[in-house]
Structure 1
Amino acid sequence: MIRKLKTLGATLALALCGVALAQGSYPSQPIKWIVPYPAGGGTDAMARQLSQAMQPLLGQPLLVDNRPGASTNIGVAALLQAKPDGHTILQAENAALLFNEHMFAKLPYNPATDFSYIGAIGRIPILLVVREDFQARNLAELVAFVKASGGKASYASAGVGSPHHMAMELFKQKAGLDITHVAYKGAAPAIQDLLGGQVPMMMLDAAAGRPHLESGKVRALAVALPQRAKNLPQVPTFAELGHPEVNAFAYQGLVGPAHMPAEAIRRINADLQRALQSPEILKAFETMGVEPAPGTPEDFRNTARALSAHWGKVIRTSGVRLD
């Protein structure tokens, strides 16, 4: 009965949305932009930059609403409880888009069917870094160090199931390495222990790592992209160093609830594309280490689902669980 009522409610909401859009009234009210992370972080900064750039284009306020917790599931729940009329959207990334469906036994949503894919925002390169004075000066020396440690080497991450964690798990699997995971509550405390010498290495996204790279306190050994990062051209790729399958990045995009009207998706996507090409966003993203990823809703959905299938294999092999 509950399922039937939900289906009926979604059908009625979609019909009403269609009438409103047919009358050319979208958007007819402020748009809530859910960020499933605390204020002040990288995802939040991207959301606020983009919302400011898109607001004049959409003609309605874009209100950032931070809903952190539970590996982004709190933010996703808030999205899926909203009317699918295009006035509530979510800035989703690896957890909601790619990882959670493989890490939770009973995830209360299915990203393949419960999201309306609006458009990708960008990707943030992930780097393997060590402290500047660490004994391994390149990737080959790091691999030798790990193998010589007999399983005693460790690495830090921003938390279980984070892009940093899964990037290192991928590297471990492809390089045949035994490294102990030390999980932190965020990138900041992990970096502090890296700098303090408590852990010798970590995978770190370019946005969080940029200040430390520029200060010379940490050294990047490789970037997990098929080509060198645009903002870090001096850092070689894993592929260049003999590990072509180590590709990982933090992926960001906008989604709405399922059954969001096609016209609302097209409108937000069109204005997102314009914002991603604007000088202010290009400059802001360069500062944050974000590489814009313009494209259609179909491009975004296809890429996200392909990446989910890829990471599902990595997660199953690693045995990482979040429940």
Structure 2
Amino acid sequence: MKRFLQLLAAGLALAAASHAPAQSAYPSQPLRWIVPYPAGGGTDNLARALADAMQPSLGQPIVIDNRPGASTNIGVSVLMQAKPDGYTIMQAENAALLFNEHMFAKLPYKPASDFTYIGTIGRFPVALVVHPDFPAKTVAEFVSYVKANPDKVSYASPGNGTPHHMAMELFKQKAALGIVHVPYKGAAPAMTDIMGGQVPTMMLDLASGLPIIRSGKVRVLAIALPQRASALPDVPTFSEVGFKDVNAYAFHGLIGPAGMPQEAVNRINGELHKAMKAPKVVKLFADFGFEALPGTPQDFYKLSRAESERWGKVIKSAGVQLD
């Protein structure tokens, strides 16, 4: 009897197992994509285009969650509180990945260890622009004019600690310029004052600035990339005009909380790469002057850490602190 009961129990267990629902493959529910900037900007538009292109193949909706503020630290805080199950990701750029660890004395996270690196997206180039009335038509003339008028020329940026601010600080250090920073609350008001001539110059990202560059409302002198930008093929790089180390851009990628399942990382990385080839996304990249940089999670991590080290030196030299 005892043997019979043991066999009966084993048979019941096997039957129950055979009728149990199989574990759902990833993803089995909607994903949340945090954008640490307001809706309607270049980062937000990029995120929405990529998410729309990824959804059909993923088989699940991707919900954009805008969490702007505090140099992207609000968005990072939301990400850090999420379960590392692959259903909450964030579009990160220079602030979260590279700058904040050098600008905040008490940052509540460590980019090297507190993120899961999913994949690079690409970069928004930045360019040195001036008002059309500014008496410099080349970088050499710009440098000569600023040096002849130390601390009398000002430059705009969308705010302290932005890629635009740090790009000009990098150029300022390499060219030994005395030029005064005027931070604004966003790219739009900075561009308005550049076009109006209230401030003569700035480093302008092409996502925001291509329309006013092409309209002639500002004059572009150089692009801060190792090679010429496809969106402005006639504009020289800083390297071509004698400043080989002035490379700066808004660098974007996808991250998640530390400890995400590898299955989720691989799936999102693969879908991201496919989405970057979608015709609508390719067109948006071209319209924004955005350069795609697909890569593995390991590529993303290595590039982020190398860029953080490079910018840490610039930030320290400039004395930029945000707390």
Offset of 1:278 from its aligned partner?
A: 1.8
Cα distance in 2 for residues equivalent to 1:295 and 1:278: 17
- Indicate if the aligned counterparts of 2:223 and 2:229 stay in contact, CA closer than 8 A: yes
Cα distance in 1 for residues equivalent to 2:57 and 2:252: 21
Residue 242 of structure 2 corresponds to: 242
Residue 178 of structure 2 corresponds to: 178
Secondary structure at the aligned position of 1:25 is classed as coil
Give the residue type in structure 1 aligned to 2:198. Q
What is the total number of aligned residue pairs between the two structures?
302
Cα distance in 2 for residues equivalent to 1:318 and 1:23: 53
- Indicate if the aligned counterparts of 2:122 and 2:293 stay in contact, CA closer than 8 A: yes
Secondary structure at the aligned position of 1:166 is classed as helix
Cα distance in 1 for residues equivalent to 2:174 and 2:307: 17
1:69-84 counterparts in 2 under 5 A?
69-84=69-84
- Indicate if the aligned counterparts of 2:34 and 2:89 stay in contact, CA closer than 8 A: yes
Residue 263 of structure 2 corresponds to: 263
1:1-323 counterparts in 2 under 5 A?
23-323=23-323
Cα distance in 1 for residues equivalent to 2:245 and 2:235: 17
Secondary structure at the aligned position of 1:240 is classed as helix
Give the residue type in structure 2 aligned to 1:206. L
Calculate the aligned-residue CA RMSD, in Å. Answer: 0.9
Offset of 1:24 from its aligned partner?
A: 4.7
Offset of 1:142 from its aligned partner?
A: 0.6
Give the residue type in structure 1 aligned to 2:250. A
Give the residue type in structure 2 aligned to 1:212. I
Cα distance in 2 for residues equivalent to 1:160 and 1:213: 23
Give the residue type in structure 2 aligned to 1:29. Q
Cα distance in 1 for residues equivalent to 2:150 and 2:158: 24
**TM-score of the aligned structures, taking structure 1 as reference length:** 0.92
Cα distance in 1 for residues equivalent to 2:234 and 2:172: 24
Q: Show CA shifts across 1:47-92 (max 9, x none).
A: 0000000001111000000000000000000001000000000000
Cα distance in 2 for residues equivalent to 1:135 and 1:196: 15
Offset of 1:25 from its aligned partner?
A: 2.1
Offset of 1:44 from its aligned partner?
A: 0.3
Cα distance in 1 for residues equivalent to 2:73 and 2:321: 15
Give the residue type in structure 2 aligned to 1:247. N
Offset of 1:23 from its aligned partner?
A: 3.4
Structure 2 unaligned spans of 5+: 1-21
Q: Which structure has the larger Rg?
A: 2
Cα distance in 1 for residues equivalent to 2:208 and 2:284: 14
Give the residue type in structure 2 aligned to 1:132. P
Give the residue type in structure 1 aligned to 2:282. L
Q: Which runs of 4+ in 1 moved over 3 A?
A: none
